[in-house]
Structure 1
């Protein structure tokens, strides 16, 4: 019997220790994921954001270069996201910029191009990544003490993962404020398409595995969505709306980026009927999946809605449409209030319930027949998506009400 080489024996010991010491978020792959974990997925101690990205990016490119060699290739970055919300943020955008600059220095044979349909036609290398607030100490309902970084490189010639890297950043060096399109959107984006992206990026795959087939099949639609989001961010609303309409023919029917884009561009172009139609589709998707994560945001510490810009007018349209469509579907809905992680747990429980009850009253006022089919509950900050407790645009999504379809009693 042949003995293992010393390097492989050492790698096996590292692998065993990583399986025993990873925090919960890294240690719970799906049932379909392979139980083996490569040594490069150990999560190091958190360091400053820019340094963590430099460290993770350099290691990722080194792995990929060792495997793929010096062949000239195109590399496309599918915009990186927050895995809790599905949104692009100030720091995920910064990640992409920093990684592109690192690519030019470390692997000049690979040329970076934006995510477009034309770029995908060349079957390039594809870089994806997530940045997510986590609690390293495993404490319950407390402010995150790190941001977890996942980077994954996929070769679209084979559809397989060729490199992965895990890192962690300090909290105070990350800016999780969402970019304009995501901040404006009426719902957030943990739909099937976004989940397939996350599945490909995080613990569900290891080097050599195929990427999530749903993610790969939706890449052409994702490229059009990316073009639309860029146009929206630049204020080119007519162009953006046309691109969202084009993406609507290619993307998954429940792709919330597409539906949000159709709603937002119609609203901003002064077409309230088209905006209402798009919002009806958002509600229909939520009724089908039994979850309506409509982003009604509140002022810090209060039960009154955020007064910024035309949000009050939009909220009126949302609630009227929600009341009508829920009534037509003969569905029962639990309204769940949330708070940011500021103040005591008891006060947050009360405030979150009061927020849900305030929305319940508005829905009943819009459609009295809903009275027996609505209920309200508050969960305080236990389901915070950002969890920083800053009470500003960075954690605005934590001060929300969402709607869950439940069985009628």
Structure 2
């Protein structure tokens, strides 16, 4: 007899959501992670339940603007050439998915999944008693140049066609909504259905408390190996062995490091993201505000102002790129006026497949192993629905969402 019904590797937003959903369904669950729940990449996000975020990083504009994106000091994108040369297949697949046809297909699949995001996360918010952390003020996106404002039109109309609600906001109203803005506003859009969390780490902490109260077990150990048999799964974690009927791999960008789970063969890459925290400055904005040209968000957090975003394609173990932090600090001052020295800085690793779609579903090698990773920028948003889908699969239920676009053995080119 197995030690547990379900073993979950990874205690970030996605793994914790999988664990709580399964425990609420009555399974005997063990959650494994060497770090406290939510303390990794999930800690530093933009606090936004971004149900509007169906447009992938793979966009046709990347192809024609690649030189400026790579070489401009104001670019929201940074690329390690050494990393690109070591991973040519991932880079070529990523660029192939920037073509118009693949990009539109990816957006449609993301929109389908995001349409279920709220029904996935709302039960977790209730179970965690985290209603007080939810802020319903939407998200404001602004563009400060006419060229960028006009360039945003196609993407906005694409979102609308995919069912994402938004409304145009004139510059005067944008300044009324966010009096702290100091940059020129050429265009503004309010995603009024979006929500945010005042403290995502506190949310994950409360989820973990609810998971524990329901009888869930937590082991502060890394999962190193997962081996399947006809009767279950054996996991090696921190020098000990345990068995489960099923295992869930939800270790984000580190999922490939778990041997024998089949993940080592998948094209899982990393978009490194950064943030700066400014204690006592949360009043600078009243909701998440994204600046299109700069590629980052200003977010009111329970502990202060968080400036977060940009994309750096580089290795997991590469050193901190100070130019990314300098970019955020410089653009933050342009956006909101002079800021004090940041109280802290952070680097996180967004798990990203070359087509910007997550991997959700069984391993091609054994349905005893379920995958739940690769959510890139929207792990917090999609964690709840991913957890519900994983619980369905673990119980042999047919999910009400077509998971073929998210299958591990799909074509990534």
TM-score by length of 2: 0.21
Q: Which has the larger radius of gyration?
A: 1
Q: Select the structure with the greater relative contact order (CA < 8 A; seq sep ≥ 6).
A: 2
Which structure shows the bigger proportion of residues in helix conformation?
1
TM-score by length of 1: 0.21
Which structure shows the bigger proportion of residues in strand conformation?
2
